[in-house]
Amino acid sequence: MLGKDYEGQDCALARALEVVGERWTLLIVRDALYGVRRFNDFQAHLDIPKAILSGRLNGLVDDGIVDRLPDPDHRGRHLYHLTQAGKDLWPVIHSLLVWGDRYREGSCRVFQHAGCGTPLDDRGTCPHCKVAPGPDDILTKPLRRTSRDDPVARSLRRPHRMLDPVPEA
């Protein structure tokens, strides 16, 4: 089996890819940045097998990217919250979104500085305020209707402040 580490690579990029380089992991982090916190919501929005989602979330907990806390509304279930290290992946995800928009498929969302409403530029900076807001200061809106019709996708059709919890279905 192909390992997930790059033992022979003496580079911070290799260390970072050991954390987020597996298939699905960055999409899980993206959803967590959108405010998804429940296992069932990740599963419904990503359509991934439960065993894979469970494995990826366990890995993200072990690597300090998300914290797993008891869900006060559902005994025995958990909520997954991004740690600071997890929130600090926002610029990575934003850069990949910009790259994908330019070289692969047009973006389906816009990101605005919540403080002033100005769309972020390709570097994730608000051109009006000259700051690079963190995800808790960013509003995301759809640019077009997507084909997905799960509870998370429906909730994200409205303007949504990132990290605000996506309401339970």
Residues in contact with Zn ion by the rule CB under 5 A = 113, 115-116, 118, 126, 128-129
Q: How far is the CB of 139 from Zn ion (least distance, A)?
A: 11
Residues 6+ apart with CB under 8 A from 138: 90, 111, 112, 113, 114, 120, 161, 162
Beta strands in 2-45 (DSSP E): none
Nearest CB to Zn ion, comparing residues 50 and 123:
123
Q: How far is the CB of 117 from Zn ion (least distance, A)?
A: 7
Name the packing angle between helices 25-34 and 39-46 (round to 10°). Answer: 120
State the residue for tokens 């990503």: 46
Q: How far is the CB of 128 from Zn ion (least distance, A)?
A: 4
Token digits of residue 24:
């699905």
Nearest CB to Zn ion, comparing residues 14 and 114:
114
Q: How far is the CB of 111 from Zn ion (least distance, A)?
A: 11
The DSSP H or E segment spanning 39 is helix 39-46
Name the packing angle between helices 39-46 and 50-62 (round to 10°). Answer: 120
Nearest CB to Zn ion, comparing residues 70 and 127:
127
Nearest CB to Zn ion, comparing residues 86 and 124:
124
